[in-house]
Amino acid sequence: MAYSFPEEVLEYVFAFLSSHKDRNAVSLVCKSWYEIERWCRRRIFIGNCYAVSPQIVIRRFPEVRAVKIKGKPHFADFNLVPEGWGAYVYPWISAMVRSYPWLEEIKLKRMVVTDESLELLSKSFKNFKVLVLSSCEGFTTDGLASIAANCRNLRELDLRECEVEDLSGHWLSHFPDNFTSLVSLNMSCLGSEVSFSALERLVSRCPNLRTLRLNRAVPVEKLPNLLRRAPQLVEFGTGAYSAENQTDIFSNLVEAFSGCKHLKSLSGFWDVDPAYLPAMYYACTGITSLNLSNATVQSPDLVELIIQCPNLKCLWVLDYIEDAGLKALPSYCKDLQELRVFPSDPYGAEPNVSLTEQGLVTVSAGCPKLQSVLYFCRQMSNAALITIARNRPNLIRFRLCIIDPQAPDYLTLEPLDTGFGAIVEHCKELLRLSMSGLLTDRVFEYIGTHAKKLEMLSIAFAGDSDLGLHNVLSGCESLRKLEIMDCPFGDKALLANAAKLETMRSLWMSSCSVRRCPSSNVEVMDERGHPDSRPETCPVEKLYIYRTVAGPRVDKPNFVWTMDEDAVLRLS
Amino acid sequence: MEKTPDKISSSSEKNEVLNLKETELRLGLPGSEFLDKKATGFSLFGKDLKDENNKNIFSGAKRVFSDAIDGSNKWGLCTNRGSEVDLGKNDVLFSPRGANGGVKNTNILQSSHPAKEVPPQPVEGKKDENGSTASKAQVVGWPPIRSLHKNRLTTNLSRNNDVKGKSESSCLYVKVSMDGAPYLRKVDLKTYCSYAELSSALEKMFSCFTIGQYASHGLRGKEDLNECHLMDLLDRSEYVLTYEDKDGDWMLVGDVPWEMFTDMCKRLRIMKGSEASGLAPRVIEKCKSQN
């Protein structure tokens, strides 16, 4: 059946589709749409670097300009994935160097990046513009020097919470004098001091600089120099925010901040001296995002700053804010959409601040746009969770971490099943949920019944039996990522829901009771030896199941076993 | 007076008396009671069949690693049984082993030192001997906090607890020389929070230079290692740890608070006791009186 749309028209229409889901859907319509789409796709997203090989990607999409790849499972953030597990970017870069000479953008998350990779990419992609490394590791500041020296058209260099071996601050001085294209620089995770004069000159000659996130080593007295040279900044992260008593620092800061009329985001704030916080007040009216997760100051000082930001949408703060501080949010920051409260002393046996479930309840009641929550606290009740759920049915992300594993409802001493049940029942658009506290199989019944849009679920120390896991796997239609630690789930639920696993990106189970693995493409991490070498009754340490078209890994370390060596290639 | 139960001659009754079962060096992590059931217990992460009826899987049977944490000092692992070496009071410069200086928060076996050492006491919610409430034994991966965030808090917390001598730089490398050693070493004073940690780290670094003597003298079956450190026993001569301060004077390590010391120290020298007369007369006398 012929139809009259020329390819060019279709290509033009497809160019309006930016979402990967839409692009994927379009490519399934028919063979010719598949062909047209694959030639014009410029941006690809690979959610699991082992789900597909570089060769397969390149074969299908020959004209890519931007890649985003994720590596290790999320629990790697909490030291649950042993060193040397994998997620090396080098094979990707070396393959792309051959096939995508015009590549402009690389965004990586939880991958191992070496200096060699960075040097290769800096020398091979002539039009390279954007490098974003989130939670990556394996490289040193020498790698950054290659990027600075060789990427003549670089716009963004964004190192988010990376573990960089910091040999020196000299890398920054490698940006050539005629380099002026920088738009975004985030070096907040680096330790050593860069040459301040090099930094000043860089900032001065890059008129398009919008984002500058400094590292802790930049002292507060240097900030005015930088801000004066970049009044167009939209996102700014300070270094250490305190100094020996020098009165003119404060006035310089005030002057500099008031010159920045476009600031929307502030971060940094290591070593805060509260006396310097008011210097920012003039810049606060436009602020929509405030990251105070390094600011170890007390509640009144935090509140003083926060209430200067009436347009605040996103607040990250330590629990020093306390319930009293959170109470201020509904009155002053009515537009708040995202709240993250981190623990200042997570390992202390006793609470060091007065932050309880009440703080969250208050914010949920008074901030109608609140949709994303990450909250660490030490006590919770079903009543509070039910109230939160009723107040905020528009929640999309709800991550609650009660510090004490298996802590029950502190008022009734019951499990928190009904509380979380209320969350999934009322918040029909919930995409991501992390639970904690005392939870039985019952909560999984609620989740399986109600959480139909849920895409990512994180569970720890919860449930009684395989029935819990079974309810989740059979009920959560949209589930893509499931991560479980220390729950009494075993083989039965996995075997009964093997087909479900193929619709998901990945499943992580550590310290559970899984003994036999349900299907191929299963990785078992066990540093004690091959799973078969131990008694049948002995559970595996860690299980990571993911769908893949790439077959078994070729870069496995010696503590990872793929359970079926003759893995059948299946199309996803 | 420092006492380390001598593990060489440790008898099981001694273990019980001092309740050292938990700190006994075994393959596996303290607090993991299932280790007793295994013949060879090399089991880092795994756990045996869990008691299905026991909901409270956190009650000590979990794989844990211990961090003896006291309030201000996140990595301040106690030397034996919780008491910090108080270098102001006695002249111990190298502590009898007990501390794993600055061991990182990773889920590996506790860094092992030769068999006679006592790993730090795992603290499970009980008060340690300093009287401060120690934190619970930790489960790997819980609470779900990123290491970067943890490290930020650590340094912030210690700074907020009135730590003097806040330095702008992120590391503080000083040279360490030892009399008789063919080459020097460098240590980053910022990675330690106490004299105990520093001395144990130095011991580790320089123990290779005394191994020959160790082998020839053999192990000593002393009941108590008193404040004369390990190398003393082996070598029959004192080593004294000294440092050069900002004025260029050579000082005995241990007199001033730790933070002040890190500010003032420019280099370290492990001096032979025979040369140390005038610096630490009491140390020499004490050891002489034993011999």
> Cβ B143–A403 below 8 Å, yes or no?
yes
Q: Which residue, among A231, A233, A276, has the nearest Cα to A252 in the 3D structure?
A: A276
DSSP A406: T
Is B3 buried (19+), middle (13-18) or exposed (0-12) by CB count in 10 A?
middle
Q: What is the pLDDT of residues B217-257, one digit of tens each?
A: 434 434 333 333 444 444 445 678 889 888 888 888 888 88
To 5 degrees, how large is the angle CA B36–CA B41–CA B42? Answer: 155
Is residue B181 very low, low, confident or very high in pLDDT (cuts 50, 70, 90)?
confident
Query: Is A434 in CB contact (< 8 Å) with chain B?
Result: yes
With beta carbons under 8 A apart, name residues in chain A contacting B149.
293, 342
**In the numeric block, which tokens belong to residue A568?**
């059948």
Strands (E), chain B: 4-5, 173-178, 185-188, 224-225, 239-244, 250-252, 267-272
Q: Do B169 and A193 touch (CB under 8 A)?
A: yes
- The label of the residue with tokens 């996803």 reads A572
Whether B145 sits inside 8 A of A342 (CB atoms) is yes
Determine the pLDDT at residue A519.
58
Cβ-proximal residues to B43 (8 Å cutoff; 6+ apart), any chain = A528, B27, B28, B32, B34, B35, B63
Please give, rounded to a whole number of angstroms, the shortest distance from the CA of B2 to a CA of chain A. Answer: 28
- Rg for chain A (alpha carbons), in Å? 25
- Those residues with Cβ within 8 angstroms of residue A65's Cβ, 6 or more apart along the chain or in another chain: A42, A43, A100, A102, A103, A104, A105
C-alpha A417/C-alpha B280 separation (Å) is 65
- H/E stretch holding A523: strand A522-525
Residues 6 or more apart whose Cβ sits within 8 Å of residue B77: B67, B68, B99, B100, B101, B103, B120, B197
* CA A58 to each of CA A39, A42, A92, A103, A556: distance values in angstroms, whole numbers, following the listed order: 11, 12, 10, 12, 23
| Distance (Å, whole) CA B191 – CA B151 | 12
Phi-psi region of A468 (alpha: psi -120 to 50; beta: other; left: phi over 0): alpha
SS3 B196: helix
Enumerate the residues of chain A whose CB falls inside 8 A of the CB of residue B47: 511, 539
Closest CA to A411 of A447, A438, A445: A438
Whether residues A461 and B57 touch (CB distance < 8 A) is answered with yes
Over the stretch B38-92, which tens digit does the pLDDT of each residue have? 333 222 333 333 333 333 333 333 333 333 333 333 333 333 333 333 333 433 3
pLDDT, residue A5, reads: 75
Q: Please report residues of A whose CB lies closer than 8 A to that of B169.
A: 193, 217
CA dist B56 to A77, A461, A468, A478, B66, Å? 25, 9, 17, 31, 19
Q: Is the pLDDT of residue B162 over 50?
A: no
Structure tokens at B160: 């907020």
B45 contacts on A by Cβ (under 8 Å): 510-511, 526-527, 541-542
- Classify residue A298 as exposed, middle or buried by CB count within 10 Å of its CB (0-12, 13-18, 19+): middle
Decide: helix, strand or coil at residue B239. Answer: strand
| A77/B146 CB distance under 8 A | yes
Write down the mean pLDDT value for chain A.
Answer: 92
Measure in Å the smallest separation between the Cα of A486 and chain B Cα atoms: 8
Report the length, in residues, of chain A.
Answer: 572
Q: What is the three-state SS of A311-329?
A: CCCEEEEEHHHHHHHHCHH
pLDDT in tens, A344-358: 988 888 899 999 999
- Angle, vertex CA A353, rays to CA A276 and CA B73, nearest 5: 80
What is the per-residue pLDDT for A72? 96
Cβ(A291)–Cβ(A267) below 8 Å: yes
Is A349 in Cβ contact with B134 (below 8 Å)? yes
- Measured at the alpha carbon of residue A193, what is the angle toward residues A188 and A194, in degrees to the nearest 5? 90
d(CA B101, CA A530): 33
The residue assigned the tokens 């800096």 is A122
Place of tokens 């990427």: A151
Cα separation, A547 vs A521, in Å, equals: 6
With CB atoms and an 8 Å threshold, state whether B148 touches A485.
no
B159 to each of A243, A537, B154, how far by Cα in Å?
A: 14, 49, 9
The enclosing H or E element of A563 equals none
CB contact under 8 A, B62 and A486: yes
Give the model confidence (pLDDT) of B103-156 as tens digits: 333 333 333 333 333 333 333 333 333 333 444 456 788 899 987 776 656 555
Diameter over CA atoms, chain B: 66
- DSSP assigned state of A512: S
How is A413-469 classified by DSSP, letter by letter?
---SHHHHHHHHHH-TT--EEE--SS--HHHHHHHHHH-TT--EEEEES--SSHHHH
Low-confidence stretches of chain A (pLDDT beneath 50): 1, 565-572
Residue of B52, B18, B47, B19 lying closest to B35 (CA atoms): B47
DSSP letter at B134 equals P
In angstroms, the separation between the Cα of residue B187 and the nearest Cα of chain A is 16
Give chain A positions within 8 Å (CB) of B140.
Answer: 78-80
Specify whether the CB–CB gap between B6 and B222 falls below 8 A.
yes
Give the count of beta carbons closer than 10 Å to the beta carbon of residue A334: 14
- Residue ranges of the alpha helices (H) in A232-271? 247-258
Task: Give the number of other CB atoms < 10 A from CB of residue A145.
Answer: 22
Rounded to whole angstroms, how far apart are CA atoms B95 and B83?
Answer: 12
CA torsion angle for A93, A97, A103, A108 (degrees, to 10)? 0
Residue A528 touches chain B, beta carbons under 8 Å = yes
Cβ contacts of residue A83 below 8 Å, gap of 6+?
Answer: none
d(CA A144, CA A461): 41
Which pLDDT belongs to residue B263?
84
Q: In the prediction, which pLDDT does B202 show?
A: 85
Q: A464 touching B, CB under 8 A?
A: yes
Is the distance from CB of A463 to CB of A436 less than 8 angstroms?
no
Distance CA A351, CA A250 (A): 34
